[in-house]
Each structure stands twice: as structure tokens, then as C-alpha cells.
Amino acid sequence: MKSKHIFTLVTVALLAGAVFAHQQSSSVPPRQSPAPTPTTSAAAPSLAIQHKIEEYLRHVYAWGPSFKITFGQMKEAPVPGLYEITMDVAMDNQSDTATFYVSKDGRFLIRAELEDMNSDPLAEIRKKINLEDSPSQGPSNAKVELVEYADFECPSCRQLDTILRATLPSFPQVRLVYKDFPLVDLHPWAMTAAQAGRCAYKQDPAAFWKLHDLIFDHQDLISASNVFDKIGEYATQAGLDAATLRSCMAEPGTLAQIQKSMAEGESLHVANTPTLFVNGHRLIGPDATTLEQFIRYELASKRDSFP
């Protein structure tokens, strides 16, 4: 599984630390803070808190000068007494964005998702997913929609493909929708394969899945230097016109369609491949047990169909 995340360990550690600190503060009388120094700049408290957050995270996670940290605008959080702020951290070709909540006195820091239990977060996810004009297999009125954001060069996507081929025949009520999310910074031929897949779908939707399977089945044989030859070979095997496919791959509109799919994934905070949404339930990686759990749960739900 490939990822652009850097914050893997930060979430649990900060949340646990904040809870522990809250427990301590409830039993120990708070220290009197010195009176705030008057300032002529409304941005000064925000900048001071940003500086404190940066110092703290750099110290705890050993982020040296090679890690570039950029903050968004601090704003009022939905929960009283907290500010909300986004932070980008980047190093080499890896990057991540996280949302933090910090107490207004600059003491407590939490990284977590605020859940509004008066709304359905899965419904909000489903609203962002466009099911039109994407390769799919399964009934159009399926009760369960499995939307996969994937990269043809990703080894974990190949593992997931093996799982899907074994699992989906047992669930004819499920529709699988394929979305392009090539990690171009990590995989040199992923975009080329995505363009081929997009053009295969345009030429013959059924043949897309044949090409899809051939690419994953022969992933180890494909490289940046031979990808065009291999794609042409597999396209012919899939019953496609290879010359038409290559011409389509060069069209600007093909790249634009892939970028649209990627932008949709980013709006859903997709940063790993494969990422699946099972009627909105997020699943990262080739996890057969959880996949089947989500499918069976949704099939048993009272909702008639997606969405």
C-alpha cells in the first residue's frame, strides 16, 4: 500500500496526550497564567500558537529542517473553547495535510475528526462520489456500491484485485466502480496505464475489465521503459484496437478525465491506494475480512439502494 501520509503516528499520540492532560488538569489546580501582553496585532496570538505547535511536533517526531511545515488560517472550531487549524508537512516527495484543534490558551493539542452525530457522515461521502462515466461491473441499481480509487502500478491494488475477483461472485448485489488515482510521484508508469484504461473504457466498456486484469496480472513485467509496448500487447489481447487506444491516450481530454477522478479522491481525503468506499464506509488496503463485513452490513441494512 502506497501512501503520502506522514502523520501516521501523530493522531493517536496527540489525542491520548490531550485526554491525559485533561484528566490531570481536572485534579490539579490550574496554574495562574501571567496576564497577556497587550498587542496591536490581532494575528499575534495565532502566530504564537502556530509557533508552539510547530516546536512541539518537531520535538516529539524529530522533524528536522528537511520537513517543511505550513499552516492554514486559524479559525473558531465547532466546539467552544477550541481553535481549528490545518497544517501541511512535506519532505522530499511525501506530503500530508492534517487538521488540528488547539485550546485557546495554547496548551492542549488534538488531532481528530469531529463527528456531528446529528448528521450521517457516510451520506456526505456518498454525495461527493460521481458514479457516472466510470468503469463498473454489477447491477446499476445495486444496493451496495463499492468505489475503488486505485493505481495500476500499486502492488497492494493488485492484491485487492485478487480479493475482489474471489469475493464479488458471492455478492451479485454489489456494483464495483473503478476510479483512477495514480500516485505519479511514486509510480513512473501509473499515469500511462491510467490513460490506457480510460481509453479502453471509451472504446469498449467491457474490454476495460479485460485490460484491467491483464495489467494487474502482468504488473511485474511492466516498466516505465516498456509500458507502451506492453499496453499495446494487452490491448490487443483484450480485443481493443491498439492504434485507436494510443491515439486516445495522447488526447488532452483523457488526462483531464483522470485528473478529475484524482481531484474527487482528494476531496474525499484519499491518499493511499487502494482506497475503497463501500456505500461510504472507507477501507484502505487489501483487507478481505473488513470488505466482506462492510458488504454484509450494507446488504442487511434497511436502505433500499445506494445512495
| Amino acid 43: pLDDT | 59
User: Could you tell me which residues come within 8 angstroms of residue 117 by beta carbon, excluding any fewer than 6 positions away?
Assistant: none
| Amino acid 124: pLDDT | 92
The cell for 185 is 510521484
- The helix or strand, by DSSP H or E, that contains position 68, with its residue range, turns out to be strand 68-71
- 144-150 and 94-103 strand pairing: unpaired
| Amino acid 306: pLDDT | 56
DSSP state of 33: P
| Amino acid 61: pLDDT | 85
pLDDT below 50 — which residues of the chain? 2-4, 8-42
Domains and CATH numbers, the chain: 2-26+38-110 (3.10.450), 121-300 (3.40.30.10)
| Amino acid 6: pLDDT | 52
| Amino acid 4: pLDDT | 46
| Amino acid 39: pLDDT | 41
| Amino acid 304: pLDDT | 62
Please state whether the predicted TM-score (pTM) of the whole model is above 0.75.
no
Task: Name the residue with cell 502506497.
Answer: 2
Positive or negative, the CA dihedral 140, 129, 282, 114 is negative
DSSP state of 168: G
CB 258 within 8 A of CB 182: yes
| Amino acid 23: pLDDT | 38
| Amino acid 257: pLDDT | 97
User: Could you tell me which residues come within 8 angstroms of residue 68 by beta carbon, excluding any fewer than 6 positions away?
Assistant: 88, 89, 90, 91
Peptide linkage before 188 cis (omega within 30 of 0): no
| Amino acid 44: pLDDT | 67
